């Protein structure tokens, strides 16, 4: 024991930008993505084909669209478990509109509007009535899908117009799909909104300290309202893409997708308790999940076994860093 106090080191400058990037969660995730890519290309001879890889992007593009909005919502300290049910309801509404002779533009409008309305419904319960988002969205999760079941029963809507197929089955150029274009555009928009605008700063502020945010003049409830609207809207976009890709609507469409969306967000480094996270992280996480499920699919692993993997991923991604700090603390003391 020395008799002088240990010198306190207060950094007078930040670490260099490159160093911080190198040490970040995103860099780790990117390394994982590259490793999975390499392993997959050795594990299956069919992996390294432009068309196969293009097909593989369908594994994550629709989920990722929702994941971007969900990332903002989780950063702000809320959550929306009803996204998959919003897809079901929006898709059912599109199918219903189809029965009344709606064309492709109308179908898209119906899908997006229903998504928005569902988001607004959640938002009213959470922001205006002040209820916890977990219970509200667990409720709407069964309500929205329940309405689909009431409308459809064990039936299905089919016969979407061929021009509608463009969204989920179309190609922009060579192997680049329309959904990929949506994915990129939405990623850029959300990246800019979260990282470069006042609104994005407000989202972080709310997630870190809602009371503090309120006292610094941020309209907390309004920001949250908008975030729920955005999540609903993105679910609507995903519903359009998914319905267009499948070409039919059943009430069980996108069942369990909320889990994959939340997993993607958490894997992307967003703190499940709110306050931190980034869009580039979610983008890389989307690729990681897409590559993994595609790779496992090529190895003939059934879908339900993949869901074990996703569940483990969700828990593992949160548990491992905590386990790590816990062990490190124990080793130090």
Partner 1 sequence: MLPRIIPVRETILAGAILALLALIASRFAGFVAPSNLANVFNDTSPLIILALGQMVVILTRCIDLSVAANLALTGMAVAMINVAMPGLPIPVIIVIALLLGAAMGAVNGLLVWKLSIPPIVVTLGTMTIFRGIIFLISGGKWVNSHEMSESFTGFPRAEVLGLPLLSWAAIVTVLLFAIMMARTPLGRSIFAVGGNPHAAVYTGINVGRTQFLAFVISGALAGLTGYLWVARYAVAYVDIAGGFELEVVAACVIGGISIAGGVGSVGGAVLGALFLGVVKNALPVVNISPFWQLAISGSAILIAVAFNARAGRKKGRIILKSAEAKS
* Residues of the shown chain interacting with partner 1 in the complex, contacts defined by CB under 8 A: 77-79, 125-126, 129-136, 138-147, 149-150, 153, 251, 256, 259, 262-263, 266, 272-274, 302, 304-305, 307-308, 310-312, 314-315, 318-319, 322-323, 326
Q: How far is the CB of 223 from partner 1 (least distance, A)?
A: 15
Q: How far is the CB of 157 from partner 1 (least distance, A)?
A: 15
Residue closer to partner 1 by CB (options 102, 203) is 203
Q: How far is the CB of 170 from partner 1 (least distance, A)?
A: 32
Residue closer to partner 1 by CB (options 24, 252) is 252
Selection from 262, 227, 248, 45 nearest residue 138 by Cα = 262
Token pair 């080191």 is found at 9
Residue closer to partner 1 by CB (options 125, 183) is 125
What's 270's DSSP letter? -
Q: How far is the CB of 263 from partner 1 (least distance, A)?
A: 8
Greatest alpha-carbon pair distance for the chain in Å reads 85
* Cβ-Cβ contacts under 8 Å for 57 (sequence gap 6 or more): 177, 179, 180, 183, 290
- For residue 9, what are the CA distances in angstroms to 1, 5, 14? 19, 12, 13
Q: How far is the CB of 194 from partner 1 (least distance, A)?
A: 19
What's 175's DSSP letter? T
Q: How far is the CB of 91 from partner 1 (least distance, A)?
A: 16
Residue closer to partner 1 by CB (options 103, 256) is 256
Residue closer to partner 1 by CB (options 143, 246) is 143
Instruction: Please state, as a whole number, how many other Cβ atoms lie within 10 Å of the Cβ of residue 124.
Output: 14
Residue closer to partner 1 by CB (options 140, 293) is 140
Selection from 274, 267, 150 nearest residue 203 by Cα = 274
Report the C-alpha gap between 107 and 236 in whole angstroms.
11
Tokens of 126: 């959470």
Pairing label, strands 171-173, 176-177: antiparallel
């Amino acid at each position: 024991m020395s008799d002088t106090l240990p010198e306190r080191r207060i950094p007078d400058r930040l670490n260099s930008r490159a160093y911080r990037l190198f040490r970040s969660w995103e860099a780790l995730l990117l390394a994982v993505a590259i490793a999975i890519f390499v392993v997959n290309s050795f594990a299956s001879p069919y992996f390294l084909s432009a068309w196969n890889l293009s097909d593989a992007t369908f594994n994550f593009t629709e989920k990722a669209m929702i994941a971007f909005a969900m990332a903002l919502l989780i950063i702000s300290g809320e959550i929306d478990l009803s996204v998959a049910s919003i897809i079901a309801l929006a898709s059912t509404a599109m199918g219903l509109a189809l029965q009344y002779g709606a064309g492709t533009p109308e179908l898209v409008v119906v899908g997006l509007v229903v998504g928005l309305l569902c988001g607004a419904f959640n938002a009213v319960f959470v922001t205006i009535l002040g209820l916890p988002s977990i219970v509200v969205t667990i409720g709407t999760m069964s309500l929205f899908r329940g309405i689909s079941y009431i409308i459809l029963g064990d039936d299905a809507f089919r016969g979407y117009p061929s021009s509608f197929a463009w969204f989920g089955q179309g190609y922009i150029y060579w192997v680049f799909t329309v959904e990929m274009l949506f994915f990129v555009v939405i990623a850029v928009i959300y990246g800019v909104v979260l990282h470069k605008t006042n609104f994005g700063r407000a989202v972080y502020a709310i997630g870190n300290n809602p009371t503090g945010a309120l006292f610094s003049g941020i309209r907390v409830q309004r920001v949250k309202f908008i975030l729920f609207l955005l999540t609903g809207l993105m679910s609507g976009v995903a519903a359009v893409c998914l319905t267009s890709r499948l070409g039919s609507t059943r009430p069980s469409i996108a069942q369990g997708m909320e889990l994959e969306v939340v997993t993607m967000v958490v894997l992307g480094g967003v703190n499940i308790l709110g306050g931190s996270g980034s869009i580039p992280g979610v983008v890389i996480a989307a690729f990681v999940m897409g590559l993994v499920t595609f790779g496992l699919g090529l190895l003939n692993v059934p879908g339900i076994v993949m869901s074990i993997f996703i569940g483990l991923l969700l828990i593992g991604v949160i548990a491992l860093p905590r386990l790590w700090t816990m062990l490190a603390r124990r080793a130090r003391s």
